[in-house]
Amino acid sequence: MTNNTSKRFYVDTSLGQMHGQIYPNKGQTIVCLHPMPYSGRYYETFCKTLTETTSFSSLCLDMIGYGQSASINNPISIQDYARSVIEALDQLISDKFINKDISLLGFHTGSAIANEIAVMEPKMINKLIFVTYPYFEASDRKERLDSIGKTVLDENIESLRSMWDFSVANRAEGVLLDRALSNFIDQLQSTTKGWFGFDSMFNYPSEERLLLQKKPTLILNDQSSLTEPTSQANEVIQDSYYVELENTKGAIFELNTDQII
């Protein structure tokens, strides 16, 4: 097994430098693609547990515009995020930093990025793991796109209240304070641009793009606002294996790692 010490790195992409963190081990690599507006740190507890209890390595990337990766000034597409990840993985494989035996794990927007990578570069990956999938068809996407909230900051600390309450004050029971603070910091770093990821998701035609990838796909569904959309995504994917997680109450990568692994 591993001593659980992670290594940080930067790799160049056409959209700027991408930051990542690897938890090395002797087996194949699970590449974790985070939900937005967070960063690869979202998977810290999961990655440590994965490498402690299995022979897998795990790799977390900060999507362009989030975490410690290069910033962007305007929204980009799911295809753009996917292309930058492909470029990063190509370089990491070329440098022998990771081997070619990789699978992708996504959560929320990360699942859409994983799907698009499988469409664009199917030979790059073995399997996909979607821990929920935000499947919305055109009319629903349009409605959600029109209602995206864009954070406006001022000198009043109350402008941060909703983020603090969501990530820290009202966090799920059992989530440690330092992990909640890490999520809050991620939100702060992308405060006025955090909506970019939602813009890309609600512009992504999942009803078309899910049909185009043919990789074996494990779909893990939790009890959340994405329960029904995830079930709908499962109906579209050609080669899927569907599992419903039990007794989930949010923060599943902190509290339900045993069911995911």
Instruction: Work out the number of other CB atoms within 10 angstroms of the CB of residue 214.
Output: 12
Q: Which residues contact 200 (CB under 8 A, 6 or more apart)?
A: 75, 76, 77, 78, 80, 81, 109, 112
Q: Which domain holds residue 170?
A: 7-260
pLDDT, tens only, 212-257: 999 999 999 999 999 999 999 999 999 999 999 988 878 889 888 8
C-alpha dihedral (50, 51, 56, 57), degrees to nearest 10: 110
Task: Give the count of domains, the chain.
Answer: 1
How wide is the angle at C-alpha 81 spanned by C-alphas 220 and 12, nearest 5°? 125
∠ CA 199-250-181, nearest 5°, is 75
With beta carbons less than 8 A apart as the criterion, state whether 71 and 65 touch.
yes
Query: According to the model, what pLDDT value does residue 1 have?
Result: 44
For the segment 19-26, the average pLDDT, to the nearest whole number, is 90
Residues in a beta bridge with 107 = 131
pLDDT value of position 207: 96
> pLDDT at position 231, please?
97
Find all residues with CB under 8 Å of 120, minimum gap 6, and list them: 79, 82, 83, 86
pLDDT of residue 8: 95
Note the pLDDT of residue 191: 82
Tens-digit pLDDT profile for residues 33-70: 999 999 999 999 999 999 999 999 999 999 999 999 99
Is there a domain that residue 124 lies in?
yes
Q: Quick check: is 2 in a domain?
A: no
For residues 215 and 119, what is the distance between their CA atoms, to the nearest angstrom? 9
Structural domain includes residue 192? yes
Evaluate whether residue 1 is within a structural domain.
no
Burial class (CB in 10 A: 0-12, 13-18, 19+), 216: middle
What would the two tokens of residue 142 be? 């349009």
CATH of the domain at 103: 3.40.50.1820
Between 125 and 27, residue with greater pLDDT: 125
Q: How far is CA 247 from the centre of its chain?
A: 22
